[in-house]
Amino acid sequence: MVDDHAARLETAGTEYRLFPVVHVSKLKLVRQFPDRPGTELTVDEAERLDFDEALLPEDSWTTLLGEDEYEVERIADMRTGRRTRYGREHREFQV
């Protein structure tokens, strides 16, 4: 406690970048979770099963295109037009 209305936070050694003195009205009690498991994994990282690795196909980058979808080989030209009302530029691509 710095005084009756301020407390100093213990932020040394952490990556938090804030002023360490706060008003006591901003502090809250830490919730305790007694039912949270406290055990650690004992299996080596090399022996763990990667669920995503088993489910991905060989070439996951190839996607099936719909009837009105086409794959673009290259963009020949791009032009910018007027801006939208939200400040973005309207762009048109020539493929």
Q: Is 23 part of any domain?
A: yes
Q: Is 40 part of any domain?
A: no
Amino acid at 14: T
- Counted domains in the chain: 1
pTM above 0.85, yes or no: no
Average pLDDT by consecutive 10-residue portion of the chain (95 residues)? 86 81 86 76 78 66 81 88 81 86
Range of the domain at 5: 1-29
**Residue recorded with tokens 């996951």:** 60
Q: Is 12 part of any domain?
A: yes
CB atoms within 10 A of CB 8: 11
> What local confidence, expressed as pLDDT, does residue 58 receive?
67
Q: Is 54 part of any domain?
A: no
Q: β-strands 77-83, 21-23: how paired? A: unpaired
